[in-house]
Structure 1
Amino acid sequence: MTTTTTPAQVIETTASHGSLAERVKGLQSVWILGVLVVIVAVFGVLSPTTFLTAGNMTNIMQNVSIWAVLAVGMTFVIITSGIDLSVGSVLVVSSVVAAKTMEALGGQGWGTALIGLVLSVVVGLAWGILNGFLVARAKVPPLIVTLGTLSVALGIAQIITGGLDIRSAPDVLVDTIGYGRLAGIPAISLIALAVVVIGGIVLHKTRFGRYTYAIGSNEISARRVGISVDRKLVQIYALSGLLAGFAGILSLAQFGTTTIAGQSLTNLNVIAAVVIGGTSIFGGQGSMFGSMVGLFIPAVLQSGFVIIGVSPYWQTVAVGAILIAAVYVDQHRRAAASRGKGVST
């Protein structure tokens, strides 16, 4: 007699086989949170009257808001053992299309701003679907696909604008979202927090999130039990693109202009933050909380170095070192989990 395994059962089987992995998968988020606390404490001691102020903490929150939106989609992608190098360029081309349209409409009210928002999200979504189709259906490696679309999206943005930024975002967008505050908290940070919370719920509490983990843990097993892996991958890359498009309109609101030349390292910073926070580049493990913790490390380092008078270039060195350490820990964690499975079987 043959038995039929359901998608839900394969997820349960993966969890039971990886019981040791489940017990240790949160360790990286914990130690990286400890690293963040130590960094904050060091800068607080070195410059207590400047670094540990409400104003500086608010600035740090505002600075990570756009990255946080991008990190939500990137967490889903990397959990599937994929990568999306195109998010910075998708942000740029989405904001350019939105800004060009809003400039043509000539309005400064919410009607024009909402049209720009919809266009930015739609452009991002279209790029994400393209990435997902090429990865899932055409079977082109994610690294190559998103490296290619990174270049294409940025090139299109430069063609549209002639390489010059558009500096005509509607005032209502800049005043309300870019510089607006609610109870002293930047509006853009509250919007980013809402995106993170929703992303965390979807990742950790829904079937879509469970299937994301299943694909990253063992794509072959996921296919065998009936999970539509190709469709899910298209949806996951579409989500990443959609959020990049949304980040594009947030960027317009924050800076009042497109940032064609200012997003060249955005993709690498977001990927580094997600991996530092415990999302495994090998797939199958990760959390939204860890990604957010990892996100604050480069932001805190940058702020602290500026305040104490150290060249901000050292931030890049420090983040790179922490990234290497995070991957090293992840490799050893996975090796320990594999040995535990071997013992249990």
Structure 2
Amino acid sequence: MSTTKPATETVAIGTLEEPRTGFLRGLLKAQAFQILLVLLVIIIIFSALAPDTFAQWSNFRLIIQNASILAVLGVGMTYIIITSGIDLSIGSVLVFSGVVSALTMRALGGEGWGVATVGILVSIASGVVWGLFNGFLIAKGKIPPLIVTLGSLGMGLGFAQIITGGVDIRQVPSVLTDSIGYGNIFGTIPMISVIALVVVIIGGIVLHFTRFGLHTFAVGSSEIAARRVGVKVDRHLIAVYTLSGGLAGLAGILSLSQFSTTAIAGQSQTNLNVIAAVVIGGTSLFGGVGTIFGTVVGLFIPAVLQNGFVITGVQPFWQQVAVGAVLITAVYVDQVRRSSAMRGNSQGLWRKFVSGGRRG
């Protein structure tokens, strides 16, 4: 009787022997690197069209600053999508956390770091609570992530509007605005971007060099196989959604610091923008594949397009068209690669496209 183990058990935890490829060839085939090349081409084009305005450090600084909050959210979303999940609630959690934090700081009064620190902790804690709520319903209640987080999207935004009466809170301690929102390090580097960079680096290290990250990939590759090798899948899913919620809470205080208001109506597209960036950066919607680096690159494509269109006089609405096209292309590339890998087929993407998916 054959004793061969099912292939899914080894694939899920990355122990299956795979053919080795050269470093350069592997780098060129990585979707994150290909997206980086696309980003560089976009930057070069806009720099040639508007060298005196676009190709300036002050403009690049603005782009980086505008993408910082989305980068914080993108780290949590990368973990979730790698587990084959989704989180539509991050924008609402950001708003809710900012509202609760602003109300707390207003009730405490004062302008010092003591009040600001309480506000920061309250914002992060609010996000953690929403993350726990989502994770528990998904892991223990077995409710699909799409439904749970869609419900949380409405609940979080609804509670924020109920608490405030639909009116933005504008009383924010100046210490937050001056130090985090508009503060700089070394004269020109935005503090908010430094905070985002720290989150990105820590998120990348945890994802790619720790057991927690390994389990994240395992759950996304095959939940059944992950359970068989001892991964506590339910507990891990709760932890991942809690992480995303906590980062949304952190993004809430960063938004409050940058805009000096809760901006209740200003985050309606945040969740979709972050999901698009994560997928464009190479994280597979099918789970088991993704990098924090790719997410960061994916975030800058829409940011650079919007900025470049405004500077060159093109309607910024074209940014949505361009990002949508890139998103569809990224998902198609991911599907082709998965299909080819599952069949052991190495045919190129162009050949795959023109052959209509037939082997040959």
Q: How would you bin the TM-score normalised by the shorter chain?
A: over 0.9
Alignment of 1:21-170 (within 5 A): 27-170=30-173
Structure-1 residue corresponding to 2:354:
none
Structure-2 residue corresponding to 1:314:
318
1:254 maps to which of 249, 253, 258? 258
CA 1:313/1:20 → structure 2, altered by over 3 Å: closer, same or farther? farther
Q: Secondary structure at the match of 1:282?
A: coil
Would the aligned equivalents of 1:203 and 1:209 in 2 still touch at CA under 8 Å? yes
**Mapped partners of 2:228, 2:241: distance in 1:** 22
Identity %: 62
Structure-2 residue corresponding to 1:337:
341
Deviation at 1:14, TM superposition (A): 3.1
What are the superposed Cα offsets for residues 291-328 of structure 1, whole Å, 9 maximum, x if unpaired? Answer: 00001000000100110111111111111110000000
Deviation at 1:232, TM superposition (A): 0.1
Q: CA RMSD in A?
A: 2.3
- Give TM-score scaled by structure 1 length: 0.94
Would the aligned equivalents of 1:25 and 1:333 in 2 still touch at CA under 8 Å? no
**Mapped partners of 1:26, 1:208: distance in 2:** 26
Structure-2 residue corresponding to 1:286:
290
Deviation at 1:170, TM superposition (A): 0.3
Alignment of 1:6-17 (within 5 A): 10=10, 14-16=14-16
Q: Secondary structure at the match of 1:226?
A: coil
Aligned residues: 339
Would the aligned equivalents of 1:20 and 1:337 in 2 still touch at CA under 8 Å? no
Would the aligned equivalents of 2:90 and 2:245 in 1 still touch at CA under 8 Å? yes
CA 1:11/1:207 → structure 2, altered by over 3 Å: closer, same or farther? farther
Deviation at 1:31, TM superposition (A): 1.2
What are the superposed Cα offsets for residues 8-67 of structure 1, whole Å, 9 maximum, x if unpaired? Answer: x95785342565899589621111111101110110111011001010000000000000
CA 1:139/1:271 → structure 2, altered by over 3 Å: closer, same or farther? same
CA 1:17/1:131 → structure 2, altered by over 3 Å: closer, same or farther? farther
Would the aligned equivalents of 1:10 and 1:225 in 2 still touch at CA under 8 Å? no
- Give TM-score scaled by structure 2 length: 0.90
Give the residue type in structure 2 aligned to 1:40. Answer: I
**Mapped partners of 1:25, 1:83: distance in 2:** 28
Q: Secondary structure at the match of 1:191?
A: helix
**Mapped partners of 2:20, 2:219: distance in 1:** 19
Structure 2: tracts of 5 or more residues without a match: 347-360
Structure 1: tracts of 5 or more residues without a match: none
